[in-house]
Chain A
């Protein structure tokens, strides 16, 4: 099995799915030259009718994939940064997410909206937003957030084969730096199945993507002082594998949720509510969130770093719970 980067794993998934199903096509800005290499080489292989570069018109992209899906295609749209989806919200939220329901269940809309979130590259306030909670709030959208290259490939394939609109969120910092073994064979990973990244007995840490990496770092540090953390990666937040999380919390009696989005009304708030509802009697301490403070991302890189959860903060939060 080859060790590849996150970008390469995503590229493999797109390649394989386009080869497998000729209804799959890609659309987005600058996807021919591919800013982050995800769509690299696909235009050369599949041509201009399957890799469609658009003007800077996010609303058009978001709506066009809905229209194309309505007539039998399986589009994969790319928004280079999640922040640009704000220019396309009507088409995603009012149109794609709701059409099936509004049409009495008749529409089948196999759409993937791929996009990139997260801070850590000094891109300042507009290019760093993690808005998964906005989309999770809207019925009709599935939300996928892969943590490892292996998962990225398998989950992107599942997203493309799913018959519903899927928001597929990638983490910018992980593209080049997160590596892992990825088979060149065909495989998929079902939605709604969390992965236990590390088994433990003393505390449950729930985190996705780069924050999962940080949680694992924190878990190593905690192990040195005799605290065994169980680190759970939900992999998809809609649908959510609540069972695995609740099961873990019932075992460890403590939970910390780590995410890069702002704390207020972030996805962590939903998790806390669910955990309290389903594992209240098992909790030895209140569930804790370690998240971005409720401020836009500052440009200055020291401030930016302070605005994103760190392993040290997670360790501190866990130690606070253990007292």
Chain B
């Protein structure tokens, strides 16, 4: 007799986060919590200023904003430490800031300046800083999944106690690389945490059209790893889940697939006319799912910060952004000579030092 192994409504591993209602600050000190807020705000204001600059033609290129999703990168990167790495996506500014990249050289990179993290050669879609463990934004959807798996493979071979975090979108979950990467990582129990930022859309297509099941996390079942769903606007919920997944990864228990339900407040890219969703839908999300507003309220509820404290942070961050822009705009353009450098390490194909 045939055995049905695939129920239509597969069970989801229970959220490793907290039950709704109870505020769990996990192991985060007051200072940590304030830091988390500052990082989320830094991402928000960076993105808002990038949008302004783009509209004023002071910055160019293909730019995808992370506004609305700040809690995911911030919480996840707060749950890792020295020597750990992440892979990112085309929507990578938030991941960069959460990994500690500075906003000045980031802004410079978005402006194509020589002082940018990639010396102006990469731009928004390829921003990277290996020194920070940030293995790169990516122009190819899903490409980071095998790459972070490979970093975890490296840690496993070297027996280093490090982990890799892999950020990717709901759309990326439909790439072949998703299946190959996660299946491989699960087979070797590699120290990697897969974090799907399900923001409801892959470019113009609703996740409802692209995904025949309700949750990306359900797919964890087919790799024999835990699948976890968290509310992406709840920074403490995300933190709890990633912290636990990182603990498992470091302990040699293998990968976890975490799905953060989130929402992008801006268009897919700057300039997107957004024909695929209503203004009302976006307004509703901004009103009820703004991670920054929610966390600000939580901090006050926990007695960690007052409204005035938060206001002071806003002033600091605004000032930082002005300095970042000033840094970017006053930085020089790369010289024409660098067009031909950086192809190889060591001598180039003509035998010239590069």
Write the A286-313 contact mask toward B (1 if CB under 8 angstroms, else 0). 0000000111101111110011000000
Q: Which residues of B contact A121 (CB under 8 A)?
A: 62
A299→B125 CA distance, assembly (Å): 9
Q: Chain B nearest CB: distance from A269 CB in Å? A: 15
Q: Which residues of B contact A282 (CB under 8 A)?
A: none
A101→B256 CA distance, assembly (Å): 45
Are B118 and A55 in contact (CB-based, < 8 A)?
Answer: no
Q: Chain B nearest CB: distance from A61 CB in Å? A: 11
Are A56 and B120 in contact (CB-based, < 8 A)?
Answer: no
Where the two chains meet, the residues of A that have a C-beta atom closer than 8 Å to any C-beta of B are 29-30, 32-33, 35, 53, 55-60, 83-84, 86-87, 121-127, 293-296, 298-303, 306-307
A301→B120 CA distance, assembly (Å): 9
Q: Which residues of B contact A307 (CB under 8 A)?
A: 339
A134→B336 CA distance, assembly (Å): 28
A124→B120 CA distance, assembly (Å): 10
Are B175 and A57 in contact (CB-based, < 8 A)?
Answer: yes
Interface residue? B122 (CB, 8 A): yes
Q: Chain B nearest CB: distance from A171 CB in Å? A: 17
24 sampled A-B residue pairs with Cβ under 8 A: A33-B204, A56-B202, A60-B176, A87-B142, A122-B60, A123-B139, A124-B139, A125-B122, A125-B126, A126-B126, A126-B140, A127-B125, A127-B139, A298-B339, A299-B61, A299-B112, A299-B123, A299-B125, A299-B126, A302-B112, A302-B334, A302-B336, A303-B120, A303-B338
Are B139 and A83 in contact (CB-based, < 8 A)?
Answer: yes
Interface residue? B306 (CB, 8 A): no
Are B125 and A300 in contact (CB-based, < 8 A)?
Answer: no
Are A124 and B333 in contact (CB-based, < 8 A)?
Answer: no
A56→B139 CA distance, assembly (Å): 13
Q: Chain A nearest CB: distance from B125 CB in Å? A: 6
Write the B160-182 contact mask toward A (1 if CB under 8 angstroms, else 0). 00000000000110111100000
Write the B266-286 contact mask toward A (1 if CB under 8 angstroms, else 0). 000000000110000000000
Contacts known (A127-B62, A299-B126, A303-B339); A57 close to B121, Cβ less than 8 A? no
Are A57 and B339 in contact (CB-based, < 8 A)?
Answer: no
Given A122-B123, A126-B139, A302-B334, 13 other A-B residues pairs in contact with their CB atoms under 8 A: A30-B205, A33-B275, A53-B205, A55-B205, A57-B176, A58-B175, A86-B140, A122-B62, A126-B126, A126-B140, A300-B113, A301-B60, A302-B336
Q: Which residues of A contact B62 (CB under 8 A)?
A: 121-124, 127
Interface residue? B9 (CB, 8 A): no
Residue of A nearest to B125 (CB): A124
Are A59 and B125 in contact (CB-based, < 8 A)?
Answer: no
Q: Chain A nearest CB: distance from B103 CB in Å? A: 18
Interface residue? B141 (CB, 8 A): yes
Chain A binding surface SS class? loop
Where the two chains meet, the residues of B that have a C-beta atom closer than 8 Å to any C-beta of A are 60-62, 112-113, 118, 120-123, 125-126, 138-142, 171-172, 174-177, 202-205, 209-211, 275-276, 333-334, 336, 338-340, 343, 349
Are B336 and A298 in contact (CB-based, < 8 A)?
Answer: no
Contacts known (A33-B204, A299-B123, A303-B334); A55 close to B171, Cβ less than 8 A? yes
A30→B201 CA distance, assembly (Å): 11
Q: Chain A nearest CB: distance from B20 CB in Å? A: 31
A8→B62 CA distance, assembly (Å): 23
A294→B174 CA distance, assembly (Å): 33
A35→B204 CA distance, assembly (Å): 9
A293→B340 CA distance, assembly (Å): 8
A298→B123 CA distance, assembly (Å): 9
Are B339 and A293 in contact (CB-based, < 8 A)?
Answer: yes
Q: Which residues of A contact B120 (CB under 8 A)?
A: 298-300, 303
Find the residue from B121, B125, B171, B333 having the highest chain A CB count within 10 A: B121
Q: Chain B nearest CB: distance from A56 CB in Å? A: 4
Residue in contact with B336 in the complex, picked from A57, A122, A294, A303, CB distance below 8 Å:
A303
Are B210 and A56 in contact (CB-based, < 8 A)?
Answer: yes
Q: Which residues of A contact B209 (CB under 8 A)?
A: 53
Residue of B nearest to A53 (CB): B205
Q: Chain B nearest CB: distance from A323 CB in Å? A: 25
Residue of A nearest to B111 (CB): A300
Q: Which residues of A contact B336 (CB under 8 A)?
A: 302-303, 306
Residue of A nearest to B122 (CB): A299
Q: Which residues of B contact A298 (CB under 8 A)?
A: 120-121, 334, 338-339
Contacts known (A55-B202, A300-B112); A84 close to B61, Cβ less than 8 A? no
Q: Which residues of A contact B205 (CB under 8 A)?
A: 29-30, 53, 55
Residue of A nearest to B140 (CB): A126
Are A55 and B121 in contact (CB-based, < 8 A)?
Answer: no
